[in-house]
Amino acid sequence: MSEKVLRLPVKEYLEEIEVYEAGKPIELLVREYGVAPEDVVKLASNENPLGTSPLVKEAIIANAHRAHLYPDDSMYELKEALARKFGVEEEELIIGAGSDQVLSFVSQLLLEPGRSILTSRVSFAMYDIYASWYGADIVKSKSWRHLPEEFIPLIEEREPTIVYLCTPNNPTGDAMRVEDIEKIVESGNPEKTLFVIDGAYMEYAAAKNPEYAVSPSRFIERYPNLLYLGTFSKAYGLGGMRVGYGIARKELISALYKIRPPFNITTLSLAAALAALEDEAFVQESLKIHAQEIGRYEEFADRNGIEYIESSTNFISYLFGEDRESGKIARYLFERGVIIRDLSSYGINGVRITVGTPKQNDRLFEVLQEALS
């Protein structure tokens, strides 16, 4: 009676989709390699190396006794605070379990067999995965940058249902100028194409260069076919709490609401996100330390003859020549308790490293130097 094959009628286009490979958690290293948890240096998932704001910790502890109560599904307080921060109305906001969940909503709303998405050749893996969940085709630009000269002809020719502009881009780290974003968005037909600006790392890019700073309120005012995504997982230090948001015109937000499962944000995550918004000083401190430390990564690369992509995020991507293999280097580090992200599954012989605390970065340089020699 042991049947290895599922006999139920799975939808045809779901048969062969791929599963997202997440960054390796500390727990795995502890379990499988016996590294002590306190010795693990995790620079693989672009978490905030400073942790989270003390106000967030206080809010979590103060709300622990409310774990049995369903969250306020209207998310009134958090939406009000976000609306104030971005100068938009509450009806122009939707909150997801990570901005990732808002991606899944928009994919579900718009994608079906016969439709397509357009992304940069190398970009956030979930765009493709969600497209495959709904049977849509995936069109990619030729290079891994978001270049108007590559995107605009593809938009005019293919009329994709969703165009993803990941800025700054993950896993490459480069950001788009606002004027280039505008050029690309204006090339699309508002009745056929939605543009998603994924600003998961926008805080880092905006701090680096004002020409990269996207204003969601200005963009949604100008364009009816635009969705801006932001997250609490990076600069705000809440990667474990799963809170992100989408900003768009009311008509699109209310359509997305139709396919939002109730209670999609936990009671403690709502409290944590609200507290995180109240501690802008923590974010500024994170950005300041990051700006100091990323310079060390550039110096290390230069010193060791490693190419890198100039980064506008909290990570940096090192690109190796033919003499080196990114998978082997990542593995060498992993076995010594330093977790980084191998990019070979993206077709890049390189690694993505989250910029950590000064001490974490010291350790990374030490072990990476060994691996290179």
Site for its own copies in 173-212 (CB under 8 A): 190-192, 194
The residue from 179, 258, 323, 373 that contacts its own copies (CB under 8 A) is 258
Burial of 76-100, coded b for 16+ CB within 10 Å and e otherwise, reads eebbebbbeebebebebbbbbbbbb
We find the least distance from the C-beta atom of residue 179 to its own copies, in angstroms, to be 21
We find the least distance from the C-beta atom of residue 24 to its own copies, in angstroms, to be 9
Q: Which stretch binds its own copies (CB under 8 A): 212-220, 249-257, 303-311, 354-362?
A: 249-257
> Rule CB under 8 A: is residue 301 a binding residue for its own copies?
no
Name the residue nearer to its own copies (CB basis): 76 or 303: 76
Contacts of 307 (CB under 8 A, 6+ apart): 301, 318, 319, 320, 321
Torsions phi, psi of 183, nearest 5? -60, -45
We find the least distance from the C-beta atom of residue 323 to its own copies, in angstroms, to be 33
Q: What is the Cβ-side half-sphere exposure of residue 289, based on CA atoms within 13 angstroms?
A: 17
> Rule CB under 8 A: is residue 43 a binding residue for its own copies?
no
Q: CB neighbours (10 Å) of residue 105?
A: 23
We find the least distance from the C-beta atom of residue 328 to its own copies, in angstroms, to be 24
The residue from 35, 43, 101, 204 that contacts its own copies (CB under 8 A) is 101
Of 65-84, binders to its own copies (CB under 8 A) are 65-74, 76-77
Largest CA distance in the chain: 64
Q: 76-86 and 267-277 are packed helices; what angle lies between their axes, rounded to 10 degrees?
A: 30
Name the residue nearer to its own copies (CB basis): 59 or 367: 59
> Rule CB under 8 A: is residue 42 a binding residue for its own copies?
yes
Is residue 315 a contact partner of residue 171, using CB atoms and an 8 Å limit?
A: yes
We find the least distance from the C-beta atom of residue 6 to its own copies, in angstroms, to be 4
The residue from 79, 86, 92, 98 that contacts its own copies (CB under 8 A) is 98
Beta bridge partners of 341: 352
> Rule CB under 8 A: is residue 38 a binding residue for its own copies?
no
> Rule CB under 8 A: is residue 22 a binding residue for its own copies?
yes
We find the least distance from the C-beta atom of residue 34 to its own copies, in angstroms, to be 15
Amino acid making up residue 225 = N
The residue from 27, 39, 285, 335 that contacts its own copies (CB under 8 A) is 27
> Rule CB under 8 A: is residue 279 a binding residue for its own copies?
no
Name the residue nearer to its own copies (CB basis): 64 or 291: 64
d(CA 124, CA 139): 14
- 108: burial class by Cβ within 10 Å (0-12, 13-18, 19+)? middle
> Rule CB under 8 A: is residue 340 a binding residue for its own copies?
no
Amino acid making up residue 249 = R
Q: Which stretch binds its own copies (CB under 8 A): 40-48, 200-208, 212-220, 298-306?
A: 40-48
> Rule CB under 8 A: is residue 238 a binding residue for its own copies?
yes
The residue from 91, 108, 301, 324 that contacts its own copies (CB under 8 A) is 108
Name the residue nearer to its own copies (CB basis): 34 or 261: 261
> Rule CB under 8 A: is residue 118 a binding residue for its own copies?
no
